[in-house]
Structure 1
């Protein structure tokens, strides 16, 4: 029974101690153990801190499903940086609206979508750091600081960052679909996601031996 703080970082650290080398995530032909997932999150937290991100800053994540999305989500949470997951179909005015409305200082983005940022470069008022997953071959702009996710991860410490996170600390801003008007950002603390996960486990009678498969994109609340 887990009796610690209901924050992403403390929960994952607890599980990593109990089930260190057991498989936690499987994606296509790769997998992460609990320890690897926890340490990967620490690495993201450390390199994000080195780039100047601080607790309560916002960082967009525009990635396809995969381990990179997961460790980024965890690492930002450990640092107290608020994640802003972005629908990977967004571009143009809608993409600039989300980035400006949430005042994102950084974005972790797949190389395949960097050109979308270049298309709206002049409209981005807060973005400073662009962290690219994969090889980018597009023309980039001197307006931003560019980084390779893989290089940052390789050179970052896997030790925990010294940041105090509480259950009430904001963890994510989820934007609504915008069906009846401009999308609205909904701020959720660490405790909200913990409560949703706990409720789902109770309703579905999940047990530790179960395996969950998601077909949803990780930027979506249902994932």
Structure 2
């Protein structure tokens, strides 16, 4: 079944209900369906778009993203989402890699869009507002002439619906091809575990070009006829005002968001009507989760998954909540911890997390060799190191590629980060390994101070040394204004490692013998 059918169902059940709230504007389900179908008809007419062909969406968090997404999948075509922070050459790479036939964008992003002659597959560029560039077509002129309703394209569950490019935390991005079945199975699990219904109002400032925002929030909201309160970006004051004025009942955030909100005065007053708080995309520090529970009076439920798993594979459930865990596998999904040979490990032993189920991607778009490296016998190898306890609860340790090898000792950056985050003066910590002639690698911590706090490098190191094995404590410390993160909130460790190689000006980094 086409994922577009969820929009059609909600339109039939709740035609006059708000589907999207965006600032002072709102769109009902009847209006969302009509605009999506009109655009779908227009895409087919102007570019002879067929099932399986790709349409790139280079759009910020606006109602037009939702409209365009459903217009594309309704035709049986594949929606390719682009990060709005990408530069021209990066946009060109994805357009060429995905062989997109159409690009939908906004006027403010046109400077980042390459010319059609640089992208052989691209036939049309559509703009959601005023088209100020030659050859660009304004969408508004197309919609009134297009058909307003009709059946969605028939698709098999294993046919592609979306391509989402991996964050590229370790190199060039790859397009994860997700099927209609992948998305629908994950939405069903989301609705079940969050107990989402048509009465809910979900806030979404997380980027819709990312799988968390796109499938877990947007598609789940449409699936149950809920209301999506949409924001272009995270601005703390704006979001807190929106929680109250828009009567938001379900809140989603990555760990840095919760940390920033904890600094807001009377934060608990803004969350009075919120019934469910959820986090994912990066591990939630236990100290932050505890502080939130004490200050706001709510549990932050944590999930685990990746773009390649649509995105979620496990949830820390309401009735079985376990602190520090990412929960147990969702319905019809299997998870295990394996050794380098792929053999399952017993409880509490660390290894790579592997996932199998209807949420696992079809593969990386037109990259069979790279797909074969990560999907073996139906099991997706995540590259994440973790463990499972005797009750089946999974715990994240770190990314396998981030492990620091210090004279044969394994040091997991997350363990060091968790210890340092307990310091009352630190708000963010990123730990990486750097080359060291004596031990192979050494531990370096990049730290961000809370506002109004001061601390020396030596104090940071001493704090760690009395709380963990000395070899795990950082030998180098550098204070920075903010950690580099991708749109999902994950710390870009490769950027920290690159920064660590740069010549330092001044004494902001300290080596301890």
User: Which string of whole-angstrom CA distances, capped at 9 and with x for unpartnered residues, describes residues 163-191 of structure 1?
Assistant: 32233221100000112121000000112
Equivalent position of 1:14 in the other structure = 9
How far apart, in 1, do the equivalents of 2:5 and 2:195 lie? 24
1:112 to 108, 120, 136: 108
How far apart, in 2, do the equivalents of 1:36 and 1:135 lie? 21
How far apart, in 1, do the equivalents of 2:3 and 2:25 lie? 23
Equivalent position of 1:125 in the other structure = 120
Equivalent position of 1:70 in the other structure = 66
Equivalent position of 2:192 in the other structure = 202
Quote the offset at 1:161 in angstroms. Answer: 5.0
How far apart, in 1, do the equivalents of 2:51 and 2:78 lie? 8
How far apart, in 2, do the equivalents of 1:203 and 1:77 lie? 25
Aligned residue runs from structure 1 range 207-218, under 5 A: 207-218=197-208
How far apart, in 1, do the equivalents of 2:105 and 2:198 lie? 33
Quote the offset at 1:50 in angstroms. Answer: 0.1
Quote the offset at 1:70 in angstroms. Answer: 0.7
Greater fraction helix: 1
How far apart, in 1, do the equivalents of 2:27 and 2:181 lie? 25
Contact 1:42 1:161 (8 Å CA) reproduced:
no
1:32 pairs with 2:22:
no
Could you say what secondary structure the match of 1:192 adopts? helix
Quote the offset at 1:121 in angstroms. Answer: 4.9
Equivalent position of 2:139 in the other structure = 149
Quote the offset at 1:39 in angstroms. Answer: 1.3
Contact 1:9 1:78 (8 Å CA) reproduced:
yes
Quote the offset at 1:46 in angstroms. Answer: 0.3
How far apart, in 1, do the equivalents of 2:157 and 2:5 lie? 10
Could you say what secondary structure the match of 2:51 adopts? coil
1:45–1:161: structure 2 CA closer, same or farther, 3 Å change rule? Answer: farther
Could you say what secondary structure the match of 2:204 adopts? coil
Equivalent position of 2:82 in the other structure = 86
How far apart, in 2, do the equivalents of 1:111 and 1:43 lie? 21
How far apart, in 2, do the equivalents of 1:161 and 1:13 lie? 9
TM-score (norm 2): 0.40
Could you say what secondary structure the match of 2:211 adopts? coil
User: Which string of whole-angstrom CA distances, capped at 9 and with x for unpartnered residues, describes residues 111-155 of structure 1?
Assistant: 11112224x5543121110101111334x3xxxx53111111222
Q: Which moved more, 1:10-19 or 1:51-60?
A: 10-19
2:41 to 39, 46, 58: 46
Contact 2:37 2:150 (8 Å CA) reproduced:
yes
Could you say what secondary structure the match of 1:25 adopts? strand
Could you say what secondary structure the match of 1:43 adopts? helix
Quote the offset at 1:194 in angstroms. Answer: 1.6
Q: Which moved more, 1:76-85 or 1:208-217?
A: 208-217
Cα RMSD of the aligned pairs, angstroms, is: 1.6
Quote the offset at 1:192 in angstroms. Answer: 1.3
Q: Which moved more, 1:24-33 or 1:46-55?
A: 24-33
Contact 1:63 1:108 (8 Å CA) reproduced:
yes
Larger radius of gyration: 2
How far apart, in 2, do the equivalents of 1:109 and 1:205 lie? 34
Could you say what secondary structure the match of 2:136 adopts? strand
How far apart, in 2, do the equivalents of 1:113 and 1:162 lie? 30
In structure 2, the gaps of 5 or more residues are: 214-513
2:209 to 204, 215, 219: 219
Aligned length: 212
In structure 1, the gaps of 5 or more residues are: none
Runs of 4+ in 1 over 6 A off after TM superposition: none
